[in-house]
Structure formats: structure tokens, C-alpha cells
Chain A
Amino acid sequence: MNAQIRRVAALTMVMFLALFGIVTFDQFINAPALRADPHNSRMYYASFNKDRGPIIVGGDAVAASVPVDDDYGYQRTYAQGPLYAPITGYYSISLGMTGLEWTSDEILQGTSDSLFLTRIQDLITGSQPQGGAVELTIHPAAQQAAYEGLGDQRGAAIALDVDTGEILAMASTPSFDPAVLAAHNTTEVQQAYDDLLADSANPLWNRTIAGNLYAPGSTFKLITAAAALETGRYDPDTQLDAPSRLELPDSSAILGNMGDSACSSTGTMTLAEALAISCNTAFASLGLELGDDVLRAQAERFGFGKRLDVPLPVTPSVFPPDPDRPQTAMSAIGQFDDRVTPLQMAMVVSAIAGDGVLRTPHLVRTERGSDLEVVATTPVTTLAKPLSPESAEDLADMMVRVVENGTGGRVAIPGVRVGGKTGTAEKGEGKAPDNWFVAFGETDDQAVAVAVVVEDGGKAGLQGTGGAVAGPIARAVMEAVLDQ
């Protein structure tokens, strides 16, 4: 009977070979498809059950994962949650990811290509891949100053390092606590999320780069002035028409100045003087002389209309595509359909303070492996050269005069060369305006560009002006950065 047994034994070999085959299919050949299947909750849990790397600011983790004893294995925690929420975003089981948790997910999760060597090591040693860390450019004291300065008001404040493009502060209020949304109780998370969505103050927005965008108000005059200087036909001392009331062409509308005051007794004034006192009629007539195409081209050289990731996606700022002449006049002073992000205005100031060179704004300084070894450093790159060094220097001097003897007196800092520009974006009769202040502060070592906006006049309400409401915040941020 041995011959038959050999055949039956051979049959069992065939049966086992079939099993080897199917197991190879399931675990190797078809495994990628199974892993990618949307039904596969294992991958979902696995993505949370990881020692996700921290987000680091000034040597401290502002987002980190700690081991917990539940289905997910790790809990994401946020030290000083509301302060950094616009930057970190949240990492939630039911809501997904936002902010840097989203844009830097690969490195935090440990799957980024920059962690290739670490991953090879993990494969050999069999250890669970650990997430990498992300170190931010944020200056903790500046961030704190911006957030505290905004306080209970709605608004945003952002600061850029003029020479590197590093984002030193990025505060947006009201904020929220990402820890609440990162909790593992999905019912409670959903409730908290619904409440945040229903809040009319929109706490989930990062107002520095997104949200509804703002009318820039008089801060746009910097762009109009830059456009004028760049034509070569204007310099800071060029005389501009500055009537107390400007009849806008092709319409019956009449433009006045703030408080209906005359800008000048003579009816003309220099470009520098017009900027210093923020004369509407002078800049509106300048805008009419230049035309909307020149204004738009200058705005686009500063970054208007262009997509930018810092790596958080920035909503492009808008100069109206096809304004008629009265609309062009209004656009030249930052009204009508101009819409900007505070980051965009900070970029304008940064280019002016940086001799016409605009460095690419960025939030991530380094990416690090789980051992905190640097695996990638964000290089300093030039995004654009929106104006010539000469124009930039002239304009910077004009901004200094705004602080020294114009509308921006409140932001002067002893020992620092400070230039600024106020803005008060009208939103209609009886409505409190949005108050702007953009500025740069320069010492021998460092230069910082700041943009601050406070919605609806902030605490001052209808009485709010850019210099009074937003100015002190800009000054506090610059002082924190320059350590004055």
C-alpha cells in the first residue's frame, strides 16, 4: 500500500503548496490592495496607534503624543493649545487633521521620504516606526505677545523675519483648544466641533492666512506708493494733488479724508507726506494716474493672486480684476474689492524693509527623525523681488516718517528703526472698521515685518483706528522679537 500512500502524501504536498500560494497572495501580492481598502479599519487604527512625533517651538513640544491605554494607543496633547491652534491645527480620530498636523503628517507619522534611513533601520531592528519631529520658526515670546495683544478681540497678527522669511508669530483670535478635538470620545468631540462651527466668531479660522480675508484699508497705500516709485516717474518728494474732497471721475461720488479734514493747505503735498498722514485724496488721485493695471501688476509682484504654502495653504489675496475708474481710485486706497491676508501685508512690508527682496515665508525650520537628528532644513529662498532696492529704501524711509511724525507714532521703539503704516478699513455706515497696522522694526542684527488686524475696531469699536488699536500689538511683537 506504500505506493498509494506516497501518492496521497504527494496530494497533501499539493494541498499545502496551494496554501503557501494563497498566503503569499494575501500577505504579499494582494496585500497593498487590501491595506488600501477603505473598509480596512486596521490601517485606520494603526495610523493613530503610533508614536507620532512632536511639533516643537523654541525647544518645547507644543503638540505631542503620549501613550494611553485604549484602542488608539496614543493620545495627542497640545501644551498651550489655543495659543498655537492656528498653526498646529488638530489631529482628531473622527474629524481628521488640520494645520501642520495635516501638512506635516508624513514626517510626524514617520512615513516621510526624508526619514528613509530611519525606516530602513526600523525594518532591520524590527522596531515600530516612530514619528519624526517638526521644529517651527515661531519665536515663542513674539507669539505670546501677539496672542495676548489680540486678547479678547477678533483679529490676527503675524510677524516675518525680513532676512529669512521665517514666520516668527502667527496668532489668530478667537482661538480654540485642539486637545478637545483630539480626544478619543467621538461623541464629545463631535459636540465640541459643532459648537465651534456654530460660533459666529469662527474660532477655527486661521485669520492670518485664511478665513474671509480683509479689506486692507490704507495699508494698501504702500503698494500704490511702490507702484508709483517703480514707474520711475515719482520719488518721495513728487508733489501729488491732495484736495480736501476728490470728485471721482465718471460718477457723482465724492471722496473725502478721514474726519473730512484737508490734507494740505496748498492742495498739493509730497508722496512722503501723503503717506505719513495717510491722505486718501492724494493716493486716490495717484491711483487714477497710475491706472488699475499698474496697481495690479505691483500687487501681484508682492504675491497677490498667487498660491502659497507655508506649508499651511494661504488664501491668495485679491486686487479686483476689472475696476472702473472710481473703483480704481478706491482700490488704490485699499477699499472697494481689495481683499488681503495679514500674511500678504506682512510680505509687502518685508519686501520694503528687505531692500526689495521678498523671502519665501515658512513655518517649518527643520524636520527631525525620532532621535531628533535633523533630516531636512527649510532653505532660505527668494520668492520675488517686487521692487528695486532704491524704491524699497525710499519707501522704507517714508514708513519711518509715518512713525516719527505721522499716524504711527504709537509704535516707536527706542533704539530700533521702526517704519509703519496704519489702516482703517471702512465696512459701511455705522459699522466699526477693521483696524490695521503694518510695520517693520530693524536693528543691526535683525529686521522683522509685522502685520496686525483687529476686527470691528476691537475694544475701541466705532472709535477704533489702526494706530490706536493695532499699533500697540505690532509694537509688542516687534519688541519681543528684537528683545528690546
Chain B
Amino acid sequence: MATVAPYPARPGRGAELGLLALALGTSIYAFAQVSLAMTGELTTDFKRFAIGYPALALVVHVLLRLRAAYADPVILPVAVLLNGTGLAMIYRLALRYQVSQPEFGQIFSRQLIWTALGVVAAVCVLGFLRDHRTLRRFTYTTMLLGLAGLVLPLVPGIGVEQGGARIWIRLGQMSFQPAEISKILLTIFFAGYLVTRRETLALAGPKFLGLRLPRPRDLGPIMGAWLASLAVLIFEKDLGTSLLFFGLFVAILYIATDRPSWIAIGLLLFSGGVVVAWRLFAHLQTRVDTWLDPFADYYESGYQLSNGLFGLASGGLMGTGWGKGRPDLTSLAFSDFIVDSLGEELGLTGLFAILICFLLLVQRGMRAAMGVRDGFGTLLASGLAFAIALQVFVVVGGVTRLIPLTGLTTPFLAAGGSSLVANWMIVALLLRVSDGARRPPPATHEIDVAGLMAAEEGSQAA
């Protein structure tokens, strides 16, 4: 009998509450340290956080008990811990900037509001979306909205260019990175589209160098995704977003079809596009040069990365401790370079802990993908999990000089509203899918109820 029960049918809400207590305790402790190190007292902001943040987390926890009782118990605490750590660092920097750079003095209060909005977004997703399969109905709607989000920054009047990349839109006081939301919408689209087309796309074509290639006529979708990502690269000059979308598409394509040749084709196409773009665009060449030697042009292009690396180095193994380093010496210490800021004050040890949190989030997402019974859910969860992994890899690799620097936000940590809201929605989707994965199959009329109950009693006895 090939009945597979990958998850025990235990809701795990108790475990989640325990882990939440740990995550909240760590976050509040971090806040207290920041507050004491920077001001010598426990500030009003600390008290607000110490009351408000657990309240937000508990809202989600209670909602899960009501609406997704079998959801993975690790995902929420990890998100709460990461978001809390990011808030503590942003608070720490804001306290510093109030003295040195008043223009950044508001980053903390904004981030706090965005955290609340992010949690509200997650609550909405969990509350309104009772079954993730509903999303499959909107496959093409999400595609249109997702693509619209991608091109929105190009619209004159609302699109803004910052740091060489045109990926923001500004409406009045608020600026927003629509690509963050597009990431979710397009993952839904990829999952919905590929789950229907996977049989066709998996069909074998000619064999080349030992690799079985797809049929030429099936190349349409990947070419479409490639062209879209190239458009992002060329018109919005954003290598990070471009890489994220294309990598995401190729990963889901591979999972759906089990054809490694798609990965080969994808890599080939993308590297071709990047090489051409690299030759065409000076700012990409600068990025690569800076990556190869950040000190060559220290006072101009290399300044930011060098200072980020200095921050990491001065953190060493144990870090300087909350509030005791100088992360504010690195520009954009609160957004692109927040990982370097955390590395400086929490050390190698702290940064490993943060990376492990991300890895946990990714792996729990993959678990949910493997456990869920429908193909759409599998592709959606694995796609979202892979998107987190790829994004963390690209941004952390960029600020640690593993790969050239590109403009992506660090999920949950970096200051930025769109990113926070989007990532809380991803967490909500992963929770929803994991609930589907772990929930015991409903008893149907075909099943002998008495037999089932007997079996259940047996398993309880065992």
C-alpha cells in the first residue's frame, strides 16, 4: 500500500506559540539593548514595540488557530523574528540619524507602520483565501497585474529612478516598489500556467550533447519570460529584479517538467542577455568592477561596498553588540546594506543565525510544496520558497562581495514598505499551502467511517 503521510496530523499551534514566545523575546531583548545602548533608558518607542509587536504576532497566531489550524508552526515565528530583528536595527540607525542625518530620522516609524500593514495584508490573505487553489482561477489576471506592476515604474509621472534603477513608483508621499508585489502575482501565474502545460512542456525533443532538449515549438513561454526579464534589465536597469524573475520562472519550469535542459537553456539565455547588457550599460560595468575590486575607486563607486565590508570586518566573530558599532558610516545601512549593519553589531554568529532563519523559511516552504496534494499548490509554494532563497542569495551575496551588487531588498530586514507587505503576503500564502499540506484528508462518503475510526484508534494506541 503506497499511502504516503509525510506530515503527522498534528496542528502544531502549541509549538508555534512556544516558538513565537522565543522570537518575540529575542526581538524585544534586541530592542531593549538598542534602546539602552543608544539612549541609556528604555524609550517610549521600545515600550510601544514591546506591546504592539507581540499583539500583531498574536493576531496572526489566533487567526491561524481559526482559519489554518494545520499550518506549519515554524514559518510565522521565523518571520516574526526576522521582522523584529530588522526593526531593531532600523530603530538603532534611526536613533543615530536623528543626530547625524535628520532626513533619515523617520525610517523607524515608517517601518513600524509598514510592519503593521504587512501583518494586515497577511491576515487578509489568510482570512479571505480559504483554499489556495482558488488562486488558480486567476492565472491570467495575475499575469496581467504582475506585468503591469513590472512596467509601472516606466510610466512617466509616477515612476522614479533611484540609484540608477527605475523600479519605484511615487504616489504623493509614498514610494513603492511594485515589482515586490509582481513577484507574488507572477509566481501565481507561473504555477497556474505551468501546472496545465507541464505535460506538453515535458515532452522530449531532439537530443543534444546528451541533454534531451524540449521541442522547439514549446520554447514560447521561456522566450516570453526571457524577453520580459530583458525588458526589466534594459528599461529599468535593474539586474536584481530581472535575475529574480527569470530564475524564479526557470525553477518552477524545471520543477513542473523535470527537464534539466530547461535550466541549461535558461542559464544560456540569461547569461547571453547579461553579457550584452553588460557591454551596453556603463552602470553594469561599474558594478562588476566594484565587485572585483571595491577599493580601486574607493571614494566613488567603491565607497558603499567597501564600508559595508569594513562594517562586517569590525563585527568579527561576536559583533560589537547592539548600538555599539558604527553601521551608520555605510550609506543605505538601513536598506540595501542592512545585512552588513547586522553583521557589524551581531557578528558572524548573529549573521549565521539570520541566514539560518531564512534557510528555515525556505526549507519549510519546500516542505509544504512537497506535502500539498495539488500540483498548483506544489508549484506555488516551491516557487515562493525559491524566490525567497534567490532574493536572499542575490542581495546578501551582493553586500558581502560574493557576487556583483544588485538592487534587491533583504526580505523582512530592510527598510521598505513594498518589500515588507509582499513578504508578509508570501508568508501568508506559505502558511495557507502548508495548512493544505498538513491537514488530514477529509473523510469522504466512499471511506468506511467505522474502519477509519478503528484505524485512528489504532494509531492513537500506537
Hey, which bits of chain A sit against chain B, CB under 8 A? 1-6, 8-9, 12-13, 15-16, 18-24, 26-28, 30-32, 34-35, 37, 39-43, 45-46, 49, 69, 71, 126, 128
Q: How far is the CA of A41 from the CA of B331 in the complex (A)?
A: 13
B161: chain A residues at CB < 8 Å are: none
Given A19-B355, A40-B313; 12 other pairs, CB 8 A cutoff: A1-B378, A1-B382, A4-B255, A4-B258, A8-B251, A18-B393, A23-B348, A27-B313, A27-B343, A30-B313, A34-B312, A37-B306
Which A-chain residue is minimally distant from B375 (CB atoms)? A1
CA distance A26 to B324 in the complex (A): 19
**Are B315 and A16 within 8 A (Cβ)?**
no
The distance from the CB of B60 to the nearest CB of chain A, in whole angstroms, is 25
- A-B pairs with the 6 shortest C-beta distances? A34-B313, A12-B389, A31-B313, A22-B402, A27-B348, A9-B366
Residues in A neighbouring B295, C-beta threshold 8 A: 37, 39
Query: Across the interface, do A40 and B366 meet the contact criterion of CB distance under 8 Å?
Result: no
Q: How far is the CA of A69 from the CA of B400 in the complex (A)?
A: 31
* CB of B298 within 8 Å of the partner chain: yes
Bound-state CA distance A46–B344 (Å) is 13
Q: Does B352 contact A (CB under 8 A)?
A: yes
Asked whether any CB of chain A lies closer than 8 Å to the CB of B396, the reply is yes
Cβ of B277 within 8 Å of any chain A Cβ, yes or no, is no
Binary A-proximity of B386-402 (CB < 8 A = 1, otherwise 0): 10011011001100111
Q: Would you call B317 an interface residue if the criterion is a C-beta within 8 Å of the partner chain's C-beta atoms?
A: yes
| CB of B77 within 8 Å of the partner chain | no
In chain B between 30 and 62, which residues have their CB closer than 8 angstroms to a CB of chain A? none
Taking a contact as CB atoms under 8 Å apart, the answer to whether B329 and A18 are in contact is: no
The CA of A40 and the CA of B325, in the complex, are separated in Å by: 13
A8's partner among B317, B325, B366 (CB-CB below 8 A) is: B366
| A31 and chain B: residue at smallest CB distance | B313
Closest to B252 in A: A8
Q: How far is the CA of A13 from the CA of B309 in the complex (A)?
A: 24
Contact B393 A31 (CB under 8 A): no
Residues from 83 to 115 in B contacting A, C-beta threshold 8 Å: 99-100
Residues of A within 8 A of B311 (CB): 42
Q: Is the CB of B401 within 8 A of A26?
A: yes
Is B397's CB under 8 angstroms from A19's CB?
yes
Complex contact A43–B314 (CB within 8 A): yes
**Chain B interface mostly:** helix
B405 within 8 A of A: no
Residues of A near B100 (CB, < 8 A) are: 71
Q: List 15 A-B contacts (CB under 8 A).
A: A1-B379, A2-B378, A12-B359, A19-B396, A23-B348, A27-B313, A27-B347, A37-B306, A40-B314, A42-B307, A42-B310, A42-B326, A45-B326, A45-B329, A128-B324
Q: Which chain A residues border B392 with CB–CB below 8 Å? A: 16, 19
**Contact in complex: B306, A46 (CB < 8 Å):** no
Contact of B351 among A2, A9, A18, A23 (CB under 8 A): A23
B401 in contact with A22 (CB, 8 Å): yes
Contact residues in A for B369 (Cβ distance below 8 Å): 5
> Complex: how many Å from CA A35 to CA B315?
10
- A15–B316 CB distance below 8 A: no
List residues of chain B with CB within 8 A of the CB of A20.
352, 355
Q: Does B127 contact A (CB under 8 A)?
A: no
A126-B256 contact given A5-B369, A35-B313, CB 8 Å threshold = no
Assembled-state Cα–Cα distance A171/B352 (Å): 56
- Cα distance A9–B255 when bound, in Å? 11
**Within B287-340, which residues are at the interface with A (CB < 8 Å)?**
295, 298, 306-307, 309-318, 321, 324-326, 329
Q: Which single residue of chain B is at the shortest CB-CB distance from A49?
A: B326
Task: Give the docked Cα–Cα distance between A417 and B34 (Å).
Answer: 65
B311 — nearest CB in chain A belongs to which residue?
A42
- Contact partner of B382 (CB less than 8 A), chosen from A8, A26, A34, A41, is A8
**Are A42 and B329 in contact, with the CB atoms below 8 A?**
yes
Whether a CB of chain A sits under 8 angstroms from the CB of B140 is: no
Q: Which of A19, A20, A35 has the most CB of B within 10 A?
A: A19
Decide: A12 near B401, CB < 8 A? Known: A2-B370, A23-B351. Answer: no
Whole-angstrom distance between the alpha carbons of A46 and B326 in the complex?
8
Q: Taking the nearest CB of chain A, how far is it from the CB of B113, in angstroms?
A: 28
Q: Name the residue of chain A whose CB is nearest to the CB of B303.
A: A39
Residues in chain A near residue B251, CB distance under 8 A? 8
A16, A42, A71 pick with most chain B CB within 10 angstroms:
A42
Whether A39 pairs with B306 at a CB distance below 8 angstroms is yes
B358 sits at the interface (CB 8 A):
yes
CB pair A27 B317 closer than 8 Å? yes
Best-buried of A5, A21, A30 by chain B (most CB within 10 Å): A5
Does B254 make an interface contact (CB < 8 A)?
yes
A484–B388 Cα gap in the complex (Å)? 82
Q: State the Cβ distance, A91 to closest chain B Cβ, in Å.
A: 20
Least distance between A25 CB and chain B CB atoms (Å)? 8
Q: Please, how many angstroms separate the alpha-carbon atoms of A236 and B401 in the complex?
A: 80
**CB closest residue in chain A, given B256:** A1
Q: Which residues of A contact B313 (CB under 8 A)?
A: 26-27, 30-32, 34-35, 40
B37 to chain A, nearest CB (A): 10
Residues of chain A with a CB closer than 8 A to B286's CB: none
Q: A69 contacts which chain B residues (CB < 8 A)?
A: 99
Inter-chain CA distance A82–B334, complex, in Å, is 45
On whether the beta carbons of B378 and A22 are closer than 8 Å, the reply is: no
Residues of chain A contacted by B175 (CB below 8 angstroms): none
Check if B363 is an interface residue, CB within 8 A of chain A. yes
Bound Cα distance A2, B298 (Å): 47
In Å, the complex CA distance between A169 and B315 comes to 44
A40 to B294, CA, bound (A): 13
Q: Is the CB of A5 within 8 A of B355?
A: no
On chain B, the residues within 8 Å of A2 by CB distance are 370, 378
Which of chain B's residues have a CB closer than 8 A to the CB of A5?
255, 366, 369-370, 378, 382
Q: How far is the CA of A46 from the CA of B327 in the complex (A)?
A: 12
Q: Please report the C-alpha to C-alpha distance between residue A18 and residue B389 in the assembled complex, in whole angstroms.
A: 12
Contact partners of A30 in chain B: CB under 8 A: 313
Given the complex of chains A and B, what is the CA–CA distance between A79 and B176 in angstroms?
55
Task: Assess whether B386 is in contact with A28, with CB atoms less than 8 Å apart.
Answer: no
Contact status A26-B389, CB under 8 Å: no
In the complex, are the beta carbons of B314 and A46 less than 8 A apart?
yes
List chain A residues, Cβ under 8 A from B347: 27
B28 interface residue per 8 A CB criterion: no
Q: Is B69 an interface residue (CB 8 A)?
A: no
Q: Point out the residue from A8, A31, A41, A126 that lies within 8 Å of B312, measured CB to CB.
A: A31
- Contact in complex: B298, A39 (CB < 8 Å): yes
| A12–B256 CA distance with the chains assembled, in angstroms | 17
Set of chain A residues within 8 Å of B385, measured between Cβ atoms: 9, 12
* Complex Cα–Cα for A8 and B100 (A): 45
Digitize B437-454: 1 where CB-to-A-CB distance is under 8 Å, 0 elsewhere: 000000000000000000
Please tell me if B362 contacts chain A, counting CB pairs below 8 Å.
yes
Q: Which A-chain residue is minimally distant from B386 (CB atoms)?
A: A8
